[in-house]
A = this chain, B = another copy of it.
Amino acid sequence: MTPRKLPATLRFMLAARRSELLGLEDLTRTCELVTKVSRLVHALQKERGYSNIYLSGSDPRRLQQLDTFSQDVDSAEREVREALEAMDLDSLHGGDKTRLYSRIAFALYSLDELPGLRRRIREQRIALADATAALVRLIGGLLAVVFEAADTAADPDITRALVALFNFMQGKELAGQERAAGVVGFAQGYFDAERVERLQQLIEGQERCFATFVRFASGEALTRWHALCDDSLSKQVAQFRDIALRTSAEAKVDQQLCELWFELQTRRIDAMKAVETQLEWDLLERCRQSMEQIRKELDSHRLLLDRLAELGTTSEQAKLFSVQARELDSPPADGMTDAVERSTLELLQLQTQRLQRVNDELKEARQALNERKLIERAKKLLMEQYDLSESQAHTRLRQAAMDQGLRLDDLAERLLASAAGNAPARPAPRPHGRR
């Protein structure tokens, strides 16, 4: 009995909001997975650290310690696998999960190599550098899952929270790699030119990641992070870095510093974990709030629909209403009908404005991820074209950016554009022709 007009329009308005809600529920599940991945990454970083200590010293007491951390990894891995098992891969969700699922498949593939890797470590049948590299790859695969989750989220607030978390995790991972690099250098008593270079890159990388984290994080997590940066732990780490960078084959330091460095960096990384836990909590809280908000709005849309249905039951009103639907140019015979008409259009306009805002905010938040993608891809290009190590590629890219007074990501973009245009990719491309 209700006129044809409003139901069809409202049906799609409701469907639009419902689609948003379903997307958000799905995103919330992805975020829960991300928090589990974050715990697994932390456990793997610990196992990597103690594997390095074990491989560099072969103290039998270390083995027991290592086993404990391996068990922590196993339990965190089980949680991740359970969350993955619980995902309904056969559901008809139309949302494009292609990239996320591919990243997960890659991470799983690497995770399955862990038992073999552990055996080789325990039997000391693997070089420290190779063991570290394998675990760096494994952790990198897990971080890629978090990156993809951030890059595909459709809610700006949640995207911001994911960008903050991803950058923090990445910064913490570089801190873990710095710990490992320091263990090797201090165990030898000094850092050669290549290791100094590597150490500097890891320190710079951390600074970049944490700067992005600071841009996107808020509240408690940020307060905790600033407190951590100001405390004595960070100052001691800075002193140790200075020592490391001043060593040479001629100016060795006591190898006992190795243990101290490791303990100090471990305490720093554990303190970071507290910030990370706060970020995880913030992320899930964001999901909860966004869902509550959208459910509320969906309810108010439903209220409107109900009002129309009510009108439809009274034949007098229904008649009035369908006259109104045909006689759009005549003045409304009933204030209520007119109000309903108007509020439909208002709701539509509000929704359009909101979607525009959401899109702008998403674009801004994803920009930080895009910069990272560009730099990684430019590095890879240089590695392939000039047969460089990642570290060498990074140095080359950074040097070229400094020479040309460009931001790293701007240089990376030009480099990739020039390569895509089939021109020979050069670390120092022309200053014009950005696209």
Decide: A17 and B106 in contact? CB cutoff 8 A. no
A to B CB contacts below 8 Å, 18 in the list: A8-B108, A9-B112, A11-B89, A16-B98, A16-B99, A16-B100, A16-B102, A17-B98, A19-B97, A22-B92, A23-B96, A94-B95, A115-B326, A115-B328, A116-B327, A117-B328, A119-B326, A120-B329
Binding site for B on A (CB under 8 A): 4-5, 8-20, 22-23, 26, 81, 84, 89-102, 104-106, 108-109, 112-113, 115-117, 119-120, 125, 154, 325-329, 344-345, 348, 351-352, 355, 360, 420
Total identical chains: 2
Decide: B102 and A12 in contact? CB cutoff 8 A. yes
Decide: B91 and A20 in contact? CB cutoff 8 A. no
Decide: A326 and B116 in contact? CB cutoff 8 A. yes
Contact pick for A109, options B95, B112, B348, CB 8 Å: B348
Decide: A345 and B109 in contact? CB cutoff 8 A. yes
With contacts A10-B105, A102-B16, A345-B109 taken as known, whether A94 is within 8 angstroms of B23 at the C-beta atoms is yes
Decide: A16 and B97 in contact? CB cutoff 8 A. yes
* Complex Cα–Cα for A427 and B348 (A): 30
CB distance from A128 to the nearest CB of B (A): 16
With contacts A116-B329, A329-B120 taken as known, whether A348 is within 8 angstroms of B105 at the C-beta atoms is yes
* Complex Cα–Cα for A363 and B154 (A): 17
Decide: A12 and B89 in contact? CB cutoff 8 A. yes
CB distance from A115 to the nearest CB of B (A): 6
* Complex Cα–Cα for A360 and B435 (A): 13
